[in-house]
Chains A and B, each alone.
Chain A
Amino acid sequence: MVVRKMKWREFFNGLKEGPKAFGEDISIIINLIILSVVYIIGVGLTSIIAKILGKHFLELKIDKNKESYWMKFQFESRKKEEYYRQF
């Protein structure tokens, strides 16, 4: 009886392995599709619109006419509450 139970368990465990590996592959494909859609629609469209409007998110070029590149420190606040925030 015990031997028969063990054989059934082995049989079902064997069945699990294949679908588990297949599930992992499927999840990779689905994640890739979702992330690609987010990238193309979310990031892509925003980026294209921003470029049309002349907005730049990073300073990528040297500006010889500038006297200094120093900027005012962006996070000046000393209020305790602001340190609870993640931004």
Chain B
Amino acid sequence: MYVLGISCFYHDASAALLKDGKIVAAVQEERFTRKKHDISFPKNAIEYCLKNQNISIKDIDHIGFYEKPLLKFERVLYQHLEIFPRSYKTFIKNIPLWFNEKLRVLKIIRKLGYNKSVFFIHHHMTHAASFLLSPFRKAAILTIDGVGEWTTTAYGYGDENEITLLKELQFPSSLGLLYSTITAYLGFSVNNSEYKVMGLSAYGDMNKKTNNYYEKLKQVIDVKIDGSFRLDMSYFGYHYGNKMPSKNLGGLLGGKIRKSNEEITQRHKDIAAALQLITEEVIIKILNFVLEDAYLGPEYSDLEIKNFLDNNLIY
């Protein structure tokens, strides 16, 4: 049985082909179009996957799409309703794209000549599905990203071939988008250079007591004992515009957004370090909570859970 997975219209469009539950081909569209992070429908990537197995689109039994487009569109509309009239520019720019491409995924897939089932899978469920390829029979599952439809963070558990997600945090509170916002503030490109900020943090002050920006940056996020968090959106602009940091964030961190050609100073390195410290703190809090709350079964003792964390058995 062949299953084709498709992701597109957000970032890094790609296709993956599974044969009897095993990945046999996977590739990003940018490899063919030579456009970095290409978001367009991955026609070339699909063609490559099919050629790799010497099959045609008619041999595919199921197609899985990486999110539920209408649910995501609902979130986009809610953003505009909440932020009216500040979202005017984004509305004019982005809504035509929704009607031309994002809401016509099924039509575009049918144009390939494929007439069988297409599954639209909740975005964080697709992340959680990596459990199925892990060596574990049972595992606690935690997914954290920028944003899917509404979900930004979710946890649950996997048991054999079943995945259950229990709880979630929703947009606009997102650890991924916090990281992207500071990436933009530090003059790097979003959805591309977050890893540079992570690398930069190693050159900053990683001591919570002496890093001046740690306490300041903590003001933008409220973290509960169980690791759940919410962002103070007055410091952010991504929920209504294309600029991720707001003026307030510049005020809080004592400076304007760095331009990409400006020199990187110790201040920038310390801000990156503060962000890394907070990110790690939140994730560790969530992990501890998830391991308690997500059902792993009676055979997992406290000691095994401790080993689980100590040995970095995190997929």
Task: Report A's interface with B, CB cutoff 8 A.
Answer: 31-32, 35-36, 38-39, 43-44, 46-48, 50, 56-64, 66-76, 83-87
Tell whether, in the assembled complex, residue A61 and residue B70 are in contact, meaning their CB atoms are under 8 Å apart.
no
User: Which secondary structure dominates where chain B touches chain A?
Assistant: mixed
In the bound complex, what is the Cα–Cα distance between A68 and B153 (angstroms)?
Answer: 14
Q: Contact residues of B with A, CB < 8 Å?
A: 68-71, 74, 77-85, 87-88, 91-92, 95-96, 103, 105-106, 117-122, 125, 150-151, 154, 156, 165-173, 222, 224, 226, 228-234, 239
**Given A47-B84, A73-B167, A87-B68; 19 other pairs, CB 8 A cutoff:** A35-B92, A39-B84, A43-B80, A47-B80, A47-B81, A57-B79, A58-B82, A58-B239, A60-B234, A61-B230, A64-B222, A68-B226, A70-B226, A71-B168, A73-B165, A75-B165, A83-B120, A85-B68, A87-B74
A32 to B93, CA, bound (A): 10
Contacts of B74 in A (CB 8 A): 87
B167 engages A72 (CB within 8 Å) = yes
Residues on B with C-beta less than 8 A from A66 are 224
Q: Which of A46, A64, A70, A87 contacts B169 (CB 8 A)?
A: A70
Residues on the B chain within 8 Å of A50, using CB: 81
Given contacts A71-B167, A87-B70, contact A60 B117 (CB under 8 A): no
A75 touches B80 (CB 8 A): no
Q: Who on chain A is nearest to B232 by CB? A: A62
**Cα of A63 to Cα of B228 in the assembled complex, Å:** 12
Interchain CB contact under 8 A, B232 and A61:
yes
Contact of B82 among A60, A64, A75, A84 (CB under 8 A): A60
A39: chain B residues within 8 A (beta carbon): 80, 84, 88, 91-92
Contacts of A72 in B (CB 8 A): 166-168
Interface residue from B70, B85, B106, B222 paired with A62 (Cβ < 8 Å): B222
Q: Which of A44, A57, A59, A76 contacts B173 (CB 8 A)?
A: A59
Pick from A32, A61, A69, A71: contact of B224, CB below 8 A: A69
